[in-house]
């Protein structure tokens, strides 16, 4: 994601140069927001993806940098006994920020301002999310600390299924669907097969199941 932010910032600056002698307001706005995107891209740490701790005796067995439930973004952590989701942010806040920046951009530079304002809002959201993610990973990802965090004992869970870009957690009375990257199940399947072999179902495992 940080590479995408840098590319977007560079493109905005390049377009701002084109506007330099025609639409001054759009050019100035583009230089400011393009430069901001480049700075955000430089200071935003690289996302870790799926992490498997080297110390197999540690409580944390598997950590996902990002999972999305409806409009909320979480880190997803597995131990030997439970599944923990630590809240990173909300897509609703990103949408509100995007609308505000787009309105300001529209007032200053019409359609160009709307686009660069909206894009910058998503860059800011990625920066804030990554900072929160770093704080969680440096602490204890298995200890919920906020009102938006979720925790499920494996005793509560009937089955966990890896379905393409979705982690589906089946309970007796409900289903929780967590959107994840399509690259994650390949790594997650074998690890979860060792942690909770009786509960995991995945295409990344032989016949989709653990014997």
* Residue matched to tokens 């770093």: 134
Sequence-separated (6 or more) residues with CB below 8 Å from residue 85: 67, 69, 74, 75, 76, 77, 149, 150, 151, 178
Model confidence, pTM: 0.79
Determine contact, residues 87/146, Cβ cutoff 8 Å: yes
Chain centroid, CA 134 distance in Å: 12
The answer to whether residue 190 sits within a structural domain is yes
The answer to whether residue 181 sits within a structural domain is yes
Sequence-separated (6 or more) residues with CB below 8 Å from residue 40: 5, 9, 123, 124, 126, 127
The answer to whether residue 89 sits within a structural domain is no
* Residue matched to tokens 């997803």: 76
Distance, in Å, from the CA atom of 92 to the CA atom of 142, rounded to the nearest integer, reads: 25
CATH code of 187's domain: 3.30.720
Query: What pLDDT is stored for residue 2 in this prediction?
Result: 72
| Structural domain boundaries enclosing 210 | 154-211
The answer to whether residue 206 sits within a structural domain is yes
The answer to whether residue 125 sits within a structural domain is no
Distance, in Å, from the CA atom of 38 to the CA atom of 5, rounded to the nearest integer, reads: 7
**Segment 48-73, tens digit of pLDDT:** 788 888 877 789 999 999 999 988 89
Strand partners, 74: 67, 87
The answer to whether residue 167 sits within a structural domain is yes
Query: What pLDDT is stored for residue 139 in this prediction?
Result: 85
Structurally, the chain folds into a number of domains equal to 1
Q: For the chain, 211 residues long, give each residue's pLDDT as a single digit of tens.
A: 678 888 889 999 998 888 877 778 888 888 999 999 999 988 887 777 888 888 777 899 999 999 999 888 999 999 999 999 999 887 777 788 888 888 888 888 888 888 898 889 888 888 888 888 888 888 889 998 877 899 999 999 999 999 989 999 999 999 999 999 999 998 899 999 999 998 988 766 655 554 3
Which strand (E) or helix (H) includes residue 121?
Answer: helix 91-138
Determine contact, residues 108/117, Cβ cutoff 8 Å: no
Query: What pLDDT is stored for residue 206 in this prediction?
Result: 58
Query: What pLDDT is stored for residue 132 in this prediction?
Result: 86
């Amino acid at each position: 994601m940080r590479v995408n932010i840098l590319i977007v910032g560079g493109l905005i600056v390049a377009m701002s140069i084109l506007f330099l002698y025609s639409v001054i307001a759009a050019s100035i706005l583009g230089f400011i927001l393009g430069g901001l995107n480049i700075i955000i891209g430089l200071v935003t740490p690289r996302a870790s993806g799926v992490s498997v701790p080297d110390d197999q005796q540690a409580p944390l067995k598997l950590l996902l940098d990002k999972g999305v439930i409806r409009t909320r973004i979480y880190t997803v952590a597995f131990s030997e006994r439970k599944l923990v989701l630590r809240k990173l942010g909300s897509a609703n806040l990103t949408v509100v920020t995007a609308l505000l920046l787009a309105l300001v951009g529209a007032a200053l530079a019409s359609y160009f301002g709307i686009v660069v304002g909206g894009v910058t809002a998503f860059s800011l959201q990625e920066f804030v999310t990554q900072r929160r993610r770093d704080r969680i990973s440096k602490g204890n990802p298995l200890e919920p600390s906020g009102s938006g965090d979720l925790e499920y004992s494996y005793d509560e869970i009937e089955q966990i299924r890896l379905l393409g870009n979705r982690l589906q957690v089946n309970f007796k009375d409900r289903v929780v669907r967590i959107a994840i990257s399509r690259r994650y199940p390949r790594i997650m399947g074998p690890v979860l097969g060792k942690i909770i072999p009786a509960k995991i179902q995945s295409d990344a495992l032989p016949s989709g199941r653990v014997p």
